[in-house]
Chain A
Amino acid sequence: MSDDIDVNLEQKVAEFYQSLGIHQGPGDIQYRLILRVLEKNEGKITEFSEIREYTDPFADKGSIGSKMKTVFQLEGLVEKVKRGGYIITDKGITAANFLKDTSTFYKKNKRIEEIIERMP
């Protein structure tokens, strides 16, 4: 369903939401990347190391680990099935779908902004 994760795009989208005053969820690059990786592996176990492949440029191991615990596990978006292994729940898929909508909104908004910019 979802192809490769475009880290640059995710970062731009996160920055866009931050500029609107939304610093968590869609405006948080860590949250975005973690959720995208988990969604990519729907029905399979996601290794913590795989998440770190994407998040390493943005955050250290500790902050990703605590985000997994305090946000994803606490809210029931993932279930920990083994040491360093997570699986996404149905609720997690809902969150991932919302995340996709935020990317769409960003693209649409950018496109219309550019159209207006070109209108004399």
Chain B
Amino acid sequence: MMNTGLLLNATICFAIAISSLSFAWVLARSEDNQGRKSKPALWSLVVLWSLVGLTYFPTTIRMVAAYFGNHELDLLMYNLAAIPFSFVSVPLVFFIIYVITGEKKISAYTSMLFVIFGAAYLILLYSNGVTGPNVTIFSSIFTINSDFAINIYMAGLFVIPTAMIIGLLFLIFIQRMPKRLRYRTALPLVAISFVFDFMLTDMITLVDAMQLAARIFVLIGTVQAFLAYFPPLTLQEKLGIKKYQYELYEDELDEEEVDINV
């Protein structure tokens, strides 16, 4: 009965929830430093990371419930976590379309489409129900009964947004731009796709070790996103992306005169 693996799982879920929510909070706090044009993108990221956090909070409770053998609470929390989870792609799609096109309206309409995808997934999930839980040493797993729900979810909620991220990354990589900007634009995207894809694995896998591994990677992705926005000084020095702090130097002598003096 003492499945300590479940407690490890719960701890990882809790770490994901706390770190992504605090990341969302820190991002929201940085609003004043942002330009007018980047604010819509900033808020979509805040929503995205909040949804990740809100997915993993009930999941933490779910793992603890599984540890104590409370299957009703386990199921309840599974159903609760499914709500923020199925709308994770909405802010992400808004973010990518907005960054590429700069059109708020187009981005909003496109992301509305993903609200429909998410709602369809939820309706199918709730109406067809789930089987389980299958509690093992490391995790508690539900099997989604509706194959159609899984299909929607794979195609609509994950493949399209992931393809969009890859597209935007490609767009950034083929450009010549300052190293610092490249780091600042590419790393958050890599981190988001990391979190995003491993959340998918987490939700549909039927193997307990895989669920645990996926969650570890979600946690790594969250930390990576944090580093992308707030790189520590040592990392900045290593990658050569440190912004040199300088004051302008005004010289009365011309360069030629300096040459003569030498």
Contacts and interface: CB of A to CB of B under 8 A. Distances in A.
Interface residues of A, number: 9
Interface in B11-30: 27, 30
B116 interface: no
B34 interface: yes
A21 interface: no
B170 to A, nearest CB: 12
B177 A117 contact: no
A117 B36 CA distance: 9
B41 interface: yes
B175 A119 contact: no
Main SS of the interface on chain B? helix
Interface in A95-120: 108, 112, 114-120
Contacts of A115: 99-100, 171-172, 185
Contacts of B34: 120
Nearest to B175: A112
Contact of A120 (B41, B175, B181): B41
B78 interface: no
B102 to A, nearest CB: 6
Contacts of B181: 116
A118 B177 contact: no
A118 B102 contact: yes
B137 interface: no
Contacts of B188: 119
Interface of B: 27, 30, 34-35, 37-42, 45, 98-100, 102, 171-172, 175, 177, 181, 184-185, 188
Interface of A: 108, 112, 114-120
Which 9 A-B pairs give the minimum distances between C-beta atoms? A120-B42, A120-B38, A118-B99, A112-B175, A120-B41, A118-B37, A117-B37, A118-B38, A119-B185
Given A112-B175, A118-B37, A120-B39, 7 more contacts: A112-B172, A115-B99, A115-B100, A115-B171, A115-B172, A115-B185, A116-B185
